[in-house]
């Protein structure tokens, strides 16, 4: 399969490219730094600045599948007005341009999204049947608009999948930020620790993206979270156990808000989300469905 990937040098993207290469697919990537991306991944890469350029014709001309992982990192820095604009446009504008450039050869468009589309409060459990209200948070607005942009491609007869990703556990992402704190025995729950944390192991999120790209049953929104979400305090305890460190130092909500501003929502919101479609419709098999096993795999001695 001819597959074009954006955001390929990111945390998920690098693993995805490696796995697809093992499956003998033909991979091309778009990147702000094509030379670096090509050297890092060992695949052809084309320069693309989504803000000022159209999608390069040579990169997209014969592709059958697009996997769009592009988007500024939500967890980097405070959400200033300028930063929020970058976070939003990096997802919406890049998706709009990919949809506009889609060649006749394209039959599948797999696009990132996030569990931020859900309310992020309380203990209610959400699946893909949820309807986004008119009044939305910043996170809900991003995810809703991102999915709407991706869905435009369906009018061309192209299958579209939006992957609503949870917190990905692997050697990068959130864990990379938490590990130094926990290794100093200063880890613990954020806020009151009662908020739900929808997690997924890096191996499983890569498998979800590959299944979405290759299995024609996948269409529309798909929650990419493990079937057993935990509360943040359980996560902190399990991570402390995996690292053989205590984990009882809470990070008070007011300190997180002081340091991170609005971005503190990433740690303090409560997302109880279930992968209903993966389990019931697609029979997806999670390699890691329980948190202790996922963390043990990531932190076993090498």
Using CA atoms, how far residue 147 sits from 37, 49, 229, 242, in Å, is 26, 21, 24, 36
Segments forming the whole domain that contains residue 108: 2-168+199-226+272-286
Residue 158 confidence (pLDDT): 98
Please check whether residue 292 lies inside any domain of the structure: no
- What CATH number is given to the structural domain containing 32? 3.40.50.720
Task: State how far the Cα of 207 lies from the Cα of 175, in Å rounded to an integer.
Answer: 20
pLDDT at 171: 83
**DSSP class of residue 170?**
B
Cβ atoms of 151 and 46 within 8 Å: the answer is: no
The DSSP call for residue 145 is H
Question: Which residues on adjacent β-strands are paired with residue 243?
Answer: none
Q: Is residue 52 part of a domain?
A: yes
38 falls within a domain = yes
Q: Which of 188, 168, 162, 171 is nearest to 245 (CA)?
A: 188
Q: What angle do CA 137, 130, 99 make, to 5 degrees?
A: 75
Residue 240 in domain: no
Q: What is the pLDDT of residue 74?
A: 74
**What token pair was written down for 24?**
């003998």
Sign of CA dihedral 72, 121, 292, 253: positive
Q: Could you give the CA distance from residue 35 to residue 45 in angstroms, rounded to a whole number?
A: 7
CA angle, corner 58, sides to 54 and 64, nearest 5?
A: 95
Q: What is the pTM of this model?
A: 0.91
Residue 239 to residues 65, 117, 188, 199, 246, Cα–Cα distance (Å): 37, 26, 9, 13, 9
Q: Is 231 within a domain?
A: no
Q: Looking at residue 247, what is its pLDDT?
A: 59
Please list the pLDDT of the chain residue by residue as tens digits (302 residues): 999 999 999 999 999 999 999 999 999 999 999 999 999 999 999 999 999 999 999 999 999 999 999 988 776 767 788 888 998 999 999 999 999 999 999 999 999 999 999 998 889 999 999 999 999 988 899 999 999 999 999 999 999 999 999 888 988 766 666 666 556 555 555 667 788 888 999 999 999 999 999 999 999 999 999 999 898 888 878 877 777 776 565 655 655 566 556 556 666 788 899 999 999 999 999 999 999 999 989 877 54
Q: How far apart are CA 3 and CA 65, in angstroms?
A: 5
| CA-to-CA dists, residue 183 to 147, 177, 259, angstroms | 38, 11, 21
Contact 268, 195 (CB under 8 A): yes
Letter string b/e over residues 103-130, b meaning 16 or more CB atoms within 10 A of that residue's CB: beebbbbbbbbbbbbbbbeeeeebebee
Q: How far apart, in whole angstroms, are the C-alpha atoms of residue 78 and residue 262?
A: 7
Residue 51 belongs to a domain = yes
Q: Length of the chain in residues, anyone?
A: 302
Residue 77 lies in a domain: yes
User: What pLDDT shows up at residue 185?
Assistant: 55
Our count of domains for the chain comes to: 1
Asked if residue 164 lies in contact with residue 117, where contact means CB atoms within 8 angstroms, the answer is yes
CA-only gyration radius of the chain, Å: 19
């Amino acid at each position: 399969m001819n597959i074009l990937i954006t955001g390929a040098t990111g945390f998920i993207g690098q693993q995805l490219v490696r796995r697809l290469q093992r499956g003998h697919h033909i991979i091309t990537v778009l990147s702000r730094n094509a030379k670096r991306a090509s050297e890092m991944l060992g695949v052809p890469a084309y320069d693309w600045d989504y803000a000022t350029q159209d999608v390069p014709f040579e990169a997209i001309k014969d592709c059958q599948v697009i996997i769009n992982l592009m988007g500024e990192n939500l967890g980097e820095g405070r959400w200033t007005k300028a930063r929020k604009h970058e976070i939003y446009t990096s997802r919406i504008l890049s998706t709009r341009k990919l949809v506009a450039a889609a060649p006749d050869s394209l039959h599948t468009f797999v696009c990132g999204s996030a569990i931020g589309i859900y309310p992020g409060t309380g203990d209610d459990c959400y699946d893909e049947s949820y309807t986004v209200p008119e009044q939305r948070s910043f996170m809900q607005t991003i995810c809703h608009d991102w999915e709407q942009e991706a869905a435009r491609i369906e009018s061309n007869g192209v299958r579209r999948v939006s992957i609503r990703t949870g917190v990905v556990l692997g050697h990068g992402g959130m864990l990379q930020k938490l590990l130094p704190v926990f290794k100093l025995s200063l880890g613990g729950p954020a806020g009151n620790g009662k908020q739900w944390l929808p997690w997924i192991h890096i191996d499983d999120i890569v498998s979800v993206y590959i299944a979405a790209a290759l299995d024609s049953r996948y269409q529309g929104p798909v929650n990419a979270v493990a079937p057993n979400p935990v509360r943040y305090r359980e996560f902190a305890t399990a991570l402390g156990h995996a690292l053989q460190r205590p984990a009882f130092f809470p990070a008070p909500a007011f300190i997180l808000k002081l340091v991170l501003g609005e971005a503190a929502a990433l740690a303090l919101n409560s997302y109880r989300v279930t992968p209903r479609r993966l389990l019931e419709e697609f029979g997806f098999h999670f390699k890691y469905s329980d948190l202790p096993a996922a963390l043990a795999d990531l932190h076993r001695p090498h």
